[in-house]
A and B are shown apart, each in its own frame.
Chain A
Amino acid sequence: MNKKNQIKIFIVEDNNVFALALKADLETSFVNMPIQIHLFETGEKCMEKLKQEKPQIVILDYHLNSKNSDAADGVKVLDWIKKENNETYVIMLTRDDNIDIALQSLKHGANDYVVKTDTQFRKIIFSLFNFFKIMNAKSELKRYKYILIATFLCVSLLVCGVLAIWFFASALLR
C-alpha cells in the first residue's frame, strides 16, 4: 500500500476498552479504505507522534485527565493539535450531553462533536464519511485545477505555434 495515500487516524482516549472497540469498529466499517489507526492514552503521548505522523483525523476524548489529573484535558490537546496543523479534522468525544462543552469544543476548533451514547460509533462513522467526502471533493478540485492549467498551457503553445508559423510564412513571402 502506498504510504502517501494512507489516511492516518489518531484516537486519544484514556479508556482502553472504548478505544479498542472504536478502532475495531472503524477498521470494520472502512475495510476497503487505506486507514491506519494509532491509539494514545494521553494527549501528551499523541503530541509526541503528531509532528512525525501528521494524521488527517484525530478523535479526541474531552475528559482525558479523568484517570491522571496531571494529564492535559481534551480542550488543551485540541489547542495543541490546531496550533500544529489547523487542517487536522478533530472529532471531540464526551459522555456529557452538555451544550457548553459542545460550544467550547467548537470554539477551540473541533470539526465535530459526538456524545457517547448507544449510537456513538455510528455518529463517528457518519462524521468520518462526511470528512472523506470533503477530502474527495478537495482532491477533485485539485485535479480539475491541474487539468485547467494543462489545457491553458496547451492552448497557449498552440497559439504561439500558429503565430510563429504565421510570422515565418509572412517573412518568407516577403
Chain B
Amino acid sequence: MKATESENNIQLSEPVCDFRYLIDIVNGKTYLISGIMDVFLKQVPEDIQCINEAITNTDYKTIKSYTHTMKSSVSIMGISILMPVLMEMENLGIAETDIEKIKQLNLKLKVICVQAIDEIKKEKLNYNHAILKKTINKNSKS
C-alpha cells in the first residue's frame, strides 16, 4: 500500500499504534502478538480495498459494514486516532449521504493505515527476533 500525492498532504508526526493493549491481552506472549499482527497486516489492506471499491460505486451499505468491522481491528492495535474517522465514515454510510466527505475521510484512513502497517511491520520484526532468540536458546539448552 503506497500513499498517493493527495494522501501525502496529510501529515502524521507521531506513532499511531499503541501496542500496550495487545501485549496486555496476550500476557506478553511474543508468538501470539506476532500471529495477531500477521492477521492484521493481511486483513486491513483487503478491508481498505473493499472500502475504496465501495466509494467508487457509491455503495453506502458496504462502506458502513467495512468501517464498522475495521473498528474492532484498529482497537486491538491501539490505533485510537482512527476511531473518530471510522465512526464518521460509518455514520455517513448509515445516513447514505455526503460521498465527498467520505472520500476525504478515506484519504485520512489510508494515510493512517499506511503508517500503522509500517509501524506494525517494524514491531513485528522485533518480535520475530525475540522468537528466534528463544528458539536458539531452547535448542542450545537441549
- A residues with a Cβ closer than 8 A to B are 14-18, 20-21, 24-25, 28, 63, 66-67, 69, 95, 116, 118, 121
Contact = CB atoms under 8 A, between A and B. Distances in A.
Interface stretch (B4-12, B31-39, B134-142): B31-39
B8 to A, nearest CB: 27
14 contacts: A15-B73, A17-B36, A18-B73, A20-B39, A21-B36, A24-B26, A24-B29, A28-B25, A28-B29, A67-B65, A69-B65, A95-B71, A95-B72, A118-B75
Interface of B: 21-22, 25-27, 29, 32, 35-36, 39-40, 42-43, 50, 61, 65-66, 68-69, 71-73, 75-77
Contacts of A15: 43, 69, 72-73
Contacts of A121: 25
Contacts of B42: 16
B29 A17 contact: no
Secondary structure type dominating chain B contacts: helix
Contacts of A25: 25-26
B25, B40, B61, B66 — most chain A CB neighbours (10 Å): B25
B68 A63 contact: yes
B22 A21 contact: yes
A116 B72 CA distance: 8
Query: What 6 A-B pairs are tightest by C-beta distance, nearest first?
Result: A66-B65, A18-B72, A17-B73, A28-B27, A24-B32, A24-B26
A25 to B, nearest CB: 5
Contact of A18 (B35, B65, B76): B76
Chain B CB count within 10 A is highest, among A63, A66, A69, for: A66
A98 to B, nearest CB: 12
A134 to B, nearest CB: 25
A76 to B, nearest CB: 16
A67 to B, nearest CB: 6
A35 B14 CA distance: 40
B21 A66 contact: no
Contacts of B32: 24, 28
A69 B68 CA distance: 14
A43 to B, nearest CB: 15
Given A24-B26, A24-B32, A28-B29, A66 B68 contact: yes
A66 B69 CA distance: 7
